[in-house]
Amino acid sequence: MRRWDVPGRVNLIGEHLDYNGGPVLPVAIDRSVTIKARARDDAMVNVWSDLSGAAKVSFATTVQPGDVDGWASYVAGTIWSLAERGHSIPGADLVIESRLPPNAGLSSSAATTCGVASALDDLFGLGLDRTAVALVAQHAESGFVGAPVGLMDQLAVLNGTAGNAVLIDTAVTPHTTSSVALGWEADGLVLAVIATGAHHSLADGEYAARREECERAAAELGLEWLAQAGLDATVRLEDETLKARTRHVLTETARVRGAVNAIARRAWPQLGTILTASHASLRDDFQVSCPELDVAVEAALEAGALGARMTGAGFGGSAIALVAPEQVQPLRERVEARYAAHQWSRPEVFVVHAADGAHRVPN
């Protein structure tokens, strides 16, 4: 049985830019999804997952959209996406184990789809490079599951390296990636994740709505990508909603560039300010935050974080905070107290480190 380990990711900065032709700076993290795969020859796929209490889901290798739902749709979608690209498989047994909190916005879906595609490529010699795996995984989510995602998450979990973020230029096809060394741990800082426990879903229409608004704004401005807009873009648009969405894309693009510069100079207070400004933009201009995320960010800043922001598509999920190690426990206690006052479920707070991307684990 072949075993693959695929990390989750946090997006350090560059939210909602991956489908707008802007730069993004995700980090593969040391919490992961493990895929175990064994070949079959009866045109059937059996899947077991700790996401479902180890219940088995079975479907044919000829599976089509609508045949499978729930968590198993990501696996079935990957099988379907491979077949759409001429890579039909004879069958497989798959076991999926996750160390990522559920509904946390840490790309468990990309880790799963990329992991299944990588494991099957390895098992059957399909000849896929990492870009091809990313495209298979993206098509599984957009064409089968129904979430019109960009390529950031897939490229992040495939191309991450320990100690580095992945800078992705989404304006070119294929997207280019490069490593950005993260030196904050050497300077006595860590990146903390606050998994709010609030519902996180990209398939409920809000993500698709934001994407459609950005496409409309780009079309009205005569642009291929909204991130290409000039400073006069918001003056040229009449619709207030489209102005706000465009303002976020413009300022977030500048924040990514500023973050890369701050990291290179080890200017951590500046990076923290950029992270916090990103959250305000996502909350006010892009309107993808929620009370749980806002309280998490506020509590982190109150606990002494240099900066904090929601990460991921929003509508729930997680926030991140750049803090000193000794501030993690006070941060945890403050967030928990604020959540208890609102009678929300207890959040999970943990430190993450930049990790290697998808890789086969030796038997």
User: What is the full DSSP assignment across 122-136?
Assistant: HHHT----HHHHHHH
Q: Please say if the pLDDT value at position 54 is more than 80.
A: no
**Alpha helix positions (H), 140-222:** 152-159, 206-220
Q: Name the pLDDT band for 207 (thresholds 50, 70, 90).
A: confident
Residues 63-89 have a mean pLDDT of 96
Choosing from 5, 121, 153, 285, the catalytic residue is: 153
Q: Is the pLDDT of residue 46 over 90?
A: yes
Give the confidence band of 331 by pLDDT, cuts at 50, 70, 90.
very high
Q: Are 191 and 10 in contact (CB under 8 A)?
A: yes
Given this model, what pLDDT does residue 205 score? 83
Burial of 35 (0-12, 13-18, 19+ CB in 10 A): buried
For the chain, the average pLDDT equals 95
Cα distance between residue 339 and residue 323, in whole Å? 20
Residue 219 phi, psi (nearest 5) = -65, -45
Is it true that the peptide bond before 174 is cis, omega within 30 degrees of 0? yes
310: how many CB neighbours lie within 10 A of its CB?
30
Mean pLDDT of the 225-231 span: 95
Q: In the chain, where do the E strands start and end?
A: 2-13, 23-39, 44-49, 56-60, 92-98, 164-169, 176-181, 190-195, 307-311, 318-323, 348-352, 359-361
Mean pLDDT (whole number) for 15-40: 97
Q: Is 153 a catalytic residue?
A: yes
Q: What pLDDT is attached to residue 17?
A: 97
Model confidence at 363, pLDDT cuts 50, 70, 90, reads confident
Banded pLDDT at 356 (limits 50, 70, 90): very high
- Which pLDDT belongs to residue 1? 86
User: For 91-134, what is each residue's pLDDT tens digit?
Assistant: 999 999 999 987 788 999 999 999 999 999 999 999 999 999 99
Query: What is residue 63's predicted lDDT score, i.e. its pLDDT?
Result: 98
Rounded distance, CA 363 to CA 354, Å? 24
pLDDT tens-digit readout, 128-164: 999 999 999 999 999 999 988 889 999 999 999 999 9
* Average pLDDT, integer, range 320-341: 98
Quick one: CA torsion of 19, 21, 26, 28, rounded to 10 degrees? 70
pLDDT score, position 202 = 56
The pLDDT of residue 104 = 86
The whole-number pLDDT of residue 200 equals 53
CATH 3.40.1030.10 matches 182-352: no
47-51 mean pLDDT: 86
Residue 265 has pLDDT above 70, yes or no: yes
Give the pLDDT score at 328: 98
Domain regions of the chain by residue span: 2-180, 182-352
What architecture is domain 2-180?
Answer: 2-Layer Sandwich (3.30)
Burial level of 41, CB count in 10 A (0-12/13-18/19+)?
exposed
Provide the pLDDT confidence category of residue 316 given band limits of 50, 70 and 90. Answer: very high
Residue 204 pLDDT > 70: no
Q: Interhelix angle for 108-124 vs 72-84, to 10°?
A: 50
Reported as a pLDDT band with limits 50, 70 and 90, residue 51 is: low
CATH topology match: 2-180 vs 182-352:
no
**Residue 335's pLDDT band (cuts 50, 70, 90):** very high
Q: What phi and psi, each to the nearest 5 degrees, are found at residue 93?
A: -105, 130
